[in-house]
Structure formats: C-alpha cells, structure tokens
Amino acid sequence: MSNNENIVWHEHQVSKQERSKLKKQKPCILWFTGLSGSGKSTIANAVESRLLELQKHTYLLDGDNIRMGLNYGLGFSDEDRVENIRRIGEVAKLFVDSGLIVLSAFISPFQREREMVRKLVKRDEFIEIFIDTPLEVCQSRDPKGLYEKARKGEIPNFTGISSPYEAPDKAEINIKTDKMSLEESVEKIVTYLEKNGYFSGE
Ligand SMILES: Nc1ncnc2c1ncn2[C@@H]1O[C@H](COP(=O)(O)OS(=O)(=O)O)[C@@H](OP(=O)(O)O)[C@H]1O
Ligand SMILES: Nc1ncnc2c1ncn2[C@@H]1O[C@H](COP(=O)(O)OP(=O)(O)O)[C@@H](O)[C@H]1O
C-alpha cells in the first residue's frame, strides 16, 4: 500500500500566472551543471546580481549551502547524489510555482537526474547551463583545495577523479570559462532570458 493513498492534491486560489505577472517575469530554473571549480557558483551569483539590478525576483540554491541544511547528511555516493538532486528539483519546482527565477548550482553529474528535473516543470521552465570547463582547468584552479586532497586519496568518490561526470548533450546554454570572461558569461545568459521572453510576466 502506498503511503500517499489518502493524500489529495489541492489547487490554490492564486495561480502561478498571477504571481508571475505581479513580478513581471516568466519563472524558470537556470540549472547550472559542471565539475567542481568549473565556475557554477561564481557565474550563478553574478547572474543573480545582474537580475536583481534588472528588478527580477530570484533565488539561488547552492551546493554546499543546501548540503548544510535541507540535504544535511547526504554524502557523495551515486545514490546520495541522486537523492540530493531529486530534493533540489522538487524545491526548485515549488519556487518556480511561486513565480521566481531559480538559479541552482550543483555538480549534478548524471544526465538521468538532470532530465528528471527537466520533466518536473514545463518545457520552457528548465534551462540547462553547462559550465563547460575542462577538468585540467578546474584542477589548476582548485579554489577549495579539494582536487589536491582527492588526488592524495583523502576524498573518496570525487567527481572527475574517482566519480563520473556525464556532460550534457543538449544544454540550452554552453559556457566555456577558459575562453569567456565572467562578464561575457553573464551577458550570454541574461541575453538568452531576454530574447526568450523571461522578462515579461504576460
Ligand atoms: N566527493 C566529492 N565530489 C564532488 N564534490 C564534493 C565531494 N566532496 C565534497 N564536495 C563538495 O561538495 C560540492 C558538490 O556538491 P553538489 O551537491 O553540487 O554535488 S552533486 O550534485 O550531488 O554531485 C562541491 O562544490 P563545488 O566545488 O561548488 O562544485 C565540493 O565543494
Ligand atoms: N571565466 C570564469 N568564470 C567563472 N569562474 C572563473 C573564471 N575564471 C576563473 N574563475 C575562477 O574559478 C573558480 C570557480 O569556482 P566556483 O565558482 O566555486 O566553481 P563551482 O561552483 O563550479 O565549484 C573561482 O575561483 C573563479 O574566480
């Protein structure tokens, strides 16, 4: 017997469309994916600041922070990473329903889970942004010193070293941080949103 048997979905009186119209924007998830040190956090933060300047309503879900709260206790086995992304996907969906432009910055190494999140929302509400930085570049940046630890065997299942990363094959936006400045990356993402009607709440 499913434990959902006596649970009934409620339609709310105020709709997503009404909330979005008030905010003068089309809600969506900007799903950043890429290796550790690829630039997900840096770019997502810069995009959020730019959106704030444009008077857009946003929320940033960021890897390390979510793992300290909502996903406290989840590790880096394949199984825990799947659960991590599943929960984040559900939270992102709620925020989209609230009318926000959601930015999420997780490695999200598996194609299947990214596709699962894509299917949680409407077709144009999921924008996959591949932070396409070569592993060697991430390793040389090593902003948190984690690659060095992983190479010494001090961190098991480290993405790119001892755990896989499946690169997206149909991301809406591709960002090569070894060839583009932070400003160019922000511009590319914000221009995509503008051209595709995300800055209008009709
Ligand atoms: N084993 C291992 N592999 C990868 N990353 C590790 C690991 N252990 C700790 N960290 C730190 O956790 C951050 C990644 O968490 P995520 O929630 O984004 O990972 S995942 O999507 O569930 O794969 C990641 O943050 P970013 O560097 O910002 O990507 C690391 O700081
Ligand atoms: N063009 C660029 N775009 C984004 N980050 C860059 C770029 N060039 C260098 N960096 C640096 O790379 C590092 C990326 O770290 P971070 O944003 O934490 O990555 P992630 O969230 O993917 O782990 C930062 O130290 C950042 O300053």
**How many whole angstroms from 103 Cα to the centroid of ligand 2?**
16
Which of 42, 184, 187 for a ligand 2 pocket mutation test, highest count of atoms within 8 Å of Cβ?
Answer: 42
Nearest CA to 171 out of 112, 131, 120 is that of 131
* Rounded-to-integer distance, Cα 103 and Cα 47, Å: 9
Which of 146, 163, 165, 166 for a ligand 1 pocket mutation test, highest count of atoms within 8 Å of Cβ?
Answer: 146
Q: Is 181 a catalytic residue?
A: no
Matching residue, tokens 């444009």: 54
Identify the pLDDT of residue 30: 98
* Rounded-to-integer distance, Cα 106 and Cα 89, Å: 11
Mean pLDDT of the chain: 96
pLDDT of 54 above 90: yes
Identify the pLDDT of residue 183: 98
* Rounded-to-integer distance, Cα 66 and Cα 126, Å: 20
Domain boundaries, the chain: 29-195
Residue 41 marked ligand-binding? yes
Identify the pLDDT of residue 10: 84
* For the chain, the helix, strand and coil percentages under 3-state DSSP, each to the nearest 5: 45, 15, 45
Task: Report which protein residue has its CA nearest ligand 2's atom 27.
Answer: 42
Identify the pLDDT of residue 80: 97
Contacts 24+ apart (CB under 8 A), 78-87: 78/110, 78/163, 81/107, 81/108, 81/109, 81/110, 81/113, 82/110, 82/113, 85/110, 85/113, 85/114, 85/116, 85/117, 86/113, 86/116
* Rounded-to-integer distance, Cα 28 and Cα 18, Å: 15
Identify the pLDDT of residue 201: 79
pLDDT in tens, 80-116: 999 999 999 999 999 999 999 999 999 999 999 999 9
Q: Which CATH superfamily is domain 29-195 in?
A: P-loop containing nucleotide triphosphate hydrolases (3.40.50.300)
Burial tier of 42 (Cβ tally within 10 Å: 0-12, 13-18, 19+): middle
Share of residues in the chain with pLDDT > 90 (%): 92
- 71: amino acid identity, one letter: N
* Element containing residue 40 per DSSP (H, E): helix 40-53
**How many whole angstroms from 47 Cα to the centroid of ligand 2?**
13
Nearest atom in ligand 1 to the alpha carbon of residue 109 is 23
Identify the pLDDT of residue 38: 98
Please give the average per-residue pLDDT across 115-142, as a whole number. Answer: 98
From 10-14, 57-61, 108-112, 142-146, the region with the lowest mean pLDDT:
10-14
pLDDT in tens, 137-168: 999 999 999 999 999 999 999 999 999 999 99
Q: pTM above the 0.90 mark?
A: yes
